[in-house]
Structure 1
Amino acid sequence: MRLKNKLTLLFAVMTSALLLAFAVAVYFSYAKSRQDEYYRQLKVRSAIKANLLLKAGIKADVLQLIYKNSSDAFFPEEVAIYDTGFNLLYHDDINVDKVKETRQMIDEVIRKKEIRFNQGSLQEIGFLYQNDGKQFIVTAAAKDHTGERMLRGLRSTLFFAFVASIIIITVVGRFLSSKALQPVSKLVDNVNAITASNLHQTVDEGNGKDELAELAVTFNKMLKRLEYSFGAQKLFVYNISHELRTPLAAMIGELDLALSKDRSIEDYKKVIGLSLTDAKRINRLINGMLDLAKASYDQSEVSFKELRLDEILLDASRQVMDKNNTFTVPLSFDQEIEDDQYITIRGNEYLLTTAFVNLMENGCKFSSKKQCKVGISYSKEKTIINFVDEGIGIPKEELENIFTPFYRGSNSQYAEGYGIGLSLCQKIVELHKGNIALNSIPNKGTTFTVTLPHL
C-alpha cells in the first residue's frame, strides 16, 4: 500500500473512531438523561394522584374514571397505592396491572424509600409516600413514547452524520496526505534523475526546516560523498593502471628482446634479473594497494587489542633496518613514562606496524644520513610519536597534496616509490582515532607527528 493511502486510511480511521466515540457518548448520555427525567415526571404525576386520593379525598372510582377517559397520550401512567401491610388502596386499572407488585417489592420500597426498574419498554417506579404521619407505597408504570421517538431521531441523525463525516474525512485526508507528501514525490523525481554520471546534481532542500528538508540535506551530503568516492575510485584505477603499465611494459619488452634471437647465458641472466626487478616493483605496488584497502575497512571489521606502542615501534625499526642495512632508526623517550597506560592503546598490530615502517622508510630515504629519529612522548589523553629526518624537506606548495594516494612530489627523483605510503599511514592513523600532521622545511628536514589516544 502506498504511503499516501496509508496516511489517508490512518487519518480516516483515527478521526472516525473519535467521532464514533463522541456519538456513542452523546447518545447514551441523552438516553440516561431522558430516562432520569421521565422517572422524575412519573414520580411527580403519581404523587399528584396520591394527593388527590389521600389528601383531597377524591373517591377511587372518580380517579379511575378520569384515568380511563384521559386523552393524555404523552403520559399514560398506571398508578397503584398500597399501605405498608400490602393492602391495595387504589389502582387505575386492576385488570391490566402492569407493575405486578409483590410483597417482596413492597418491603424493598419501604427499606430503600424508592426503587426504579424497567419491564420491557415500560419504566416503573415505586416510592414511599407520607400522609398524616402514615406511610403508603405508590407504584407507577408508563412508556415514554415521545422520549423514545426523540431517541430514535437522535440515533438516525448521529448515524447519517457519522457516515457523512467519514466520507468528508476520507476526502480531506486524501487531499492533506497528497499535499503533505508532495515534497516527497518531488524528491523521488529528483532522485530518479540522478545517475552515476551526474552525481554533482542535488535535490531540492525545500524550506530547510522540516524533516523532509533534513532528509534532502542528508541525501545531498551522501551524493557529495558518493561523488568524491567515485572520483577517488576513478583516480585510483587510473593511477594503478599507470603505475602497473610501466614495469609490465618494461618486462614485456625485455622478454620479447630476449626471445628475438639466441643469446648467451649471461645475456639471459641479465634479462631475467631485469624482469625480476620489475616483478618485485609490481609486487611492492600490489602489496601497497592491499595495505591501503585494509586500512580503508570499517573499524568494526578490524580486530583491535591492547598494544604497547614502544614495542610496535621497536619491531618496525628492526624491519626497516633489516630490509636496508644503510638505514638507522634510533628510538628515544622524550619524557619519562610514569605509567604503561600512557603508551598503551587499542589497535591492530599489523596496520600500525605497516604505518610506522612507511614513516621510518620515508624519513630514511630522503635523509642524507639515511636516518629517521623516533621520539615518544605523551599528554593526559594521547600518546605522541615524532618521526624526524634531516633530509631535503617538502616544498610548501606540495604539503596539501602529500597524503593524496599516488601523489609524488618533486623530490620523488631522490627515491623510488608509488605515492601510496603516506596515504596509507593517514588512513591507518585515522582508523585508530588518531591524527597525523607534518612540518617540513626545505633542505632542513621533515617531522611527521602521530597522535593516538591511549588507555
Structure 2
Amino acid sequence: MEIRTRLALTFIAFVLPVFLLLLGTFYVYFDQSKHDDFLIKLRNRGITMAQLLMKKRVIQEPLLRQIDEHTHTAYSDRRVVIFDNKNRLMYDSGELDNRTGTHSPISINAHLLSQIGPGREVRLANGRRRGLGLLVEQPGQRLKVISYAIDDYGVRTMNKALAVMGFTFGVTVLLMVGLSRLFASRAVSPIVDMIQQINQITPSNVDTRLTTSSHTDELAQLARTFNQMLDRLSAFELQRSFIANASHELRTPLSVLTNQIEVALMKPRPAAEYEQLLTSLREDISQLNALSNGLLELAQLENRQVNEGGAVVALDDVLYEAVGLVIRKQPTYRITLGASTAPADRPGESTPGVTSDEALPDVTLNGDPSLLKSAFINLIDNGCKFSASHHVQLTVVVSDKSVEVIVSDQGMGIAADELDYIFQPFYRATNARAIKGSGIGLSMTRRIIQLHGGSLTVNSQLGRGTACTVSLPHRQPLGQ
C-alpha cells in the first residue's frame, strides 16, 4: 500500500469518528431541545385549561371544550385531564380526541395522582405519547393536571434533521476522501521528488546530490543524510579508483625506464648512444615526476577545505600570473585575454604570445591564490595543447553575485558521449591519447573550483573546439 494511501486512511480514521461524534452530539442536543419545547407547550396547555376551569363561574365547561377544540397545535392525540385535590375528575378532553378512534390513554390511577404535589412534576410516557403531571394552585384552589400528546411535528422535524445530517455526512465523507488524498499527495511530494533525483544519479554523474533546504524537518535531514552517505561512498570509490589508476599509470613509465636500461646493458655502446639514452631517460623521469606530483596534489585536494573567510584574492592578478607561467613554459602558445588594454603593471602586457582586447575587471574572491592559479594553468594549458593553433581565448564575465572565466579554444573537441567521463581521474578522450598527458588535470581543476564554492562546466563539439566555464562567487570590486 502506498504511503499516500496509508496517510489518507489514517486521516479519515481519525477525523471521521470525530465528525460522527459531533453529528451525534448535535442530533441528541436538537432532539432534547425539541422534547423540552414539547413538554413546555404541554405544560402551558395544561396550566391554561386548569386556570380556565378555576373560573368555572365565568367559563362553563362546554365553552371550555370549544376553546380547547379550536386551539391549534401541531400535536395529535392530545389530552388534558384535570382532578381536584381529592382526586375527583373535573375535566377530560379525551372525549374530543377519541373522535379519531385512535385514542389510547395513558393509564391514570391513584398512585400516579399521589405523586403529583407542590414542586413535583411527573413525566409520562406510553409508546409515542409523552406528557407530564403537575399541580396548579390558586388561592383556595388546587388542581392536578395531566397533559400528554403525540409530537408529530417534532418527529417530522427530527426525521428531516436526520436526513440532512445523513446527506451532510455523505458529502463530508466524499470531501474528506478527496482532501485526504490531496493532502497526502502534497505530504509525500518531497519524497517523490527525492526518489526522482535519486533515480537520476548514475555512474556517469555520481557527483550529483539531492536538493536540500534550510528547513529542519525530517525530509530535509533525510536528504542531507543521503548526501553525506553519497559523499562517503564517493570517497571510498575514489580511493579505490585512485589506487588502481595510480598503480597502472606509474607502471607504464617505470616499465619503459626498465626496458631502456636493460637494452643499454645488453652490450657496450658508443658515448653518443649513451647520451641519447640518458636524454630519453631524463624525459621519461620528468614525465614520471610530473605524474607523481599530480597524483600527490590530487590526493591532498580530496581532504582539503578552503576557509570562506580566507585570503582575499584578486582574480585578475591570478589570471595574469597563470597566463605568464603558461607562456614562459610554452613560448609557442598564444592567449587572447578578454581585455582591450591591460594596465602597465600587468604581466600580460609585456608577455610574448599574449594579446588583450580590454582590461580584465577588478574582482576579488575569498580563497587560496595558489590553488586558483593552478586550476587556471591547467585549463589554459589544456586548451593550447589540444588546439592545432595552440591558441585560446580567455574571457571574464562579471554578474551581481558571481564571476565567470571562460577558456575556449578551436581545437579537436570532445565527443558528446565522452563528456560525462572527462572529470574522472586518468580518463583521456579517445582523440587525445596521442598527446602526452596524465588525465588528472581536469579532476584537480574541478576539485579546486568546488573548494572555492564554484562550478566547472565543459561544452564541446567534436572538431570545432571546447569551452570551459569556471563560475565563482566573487567578494566585491576592488576598492570598495
Q: TM-score, normalised by structure 1?
A: 0.50
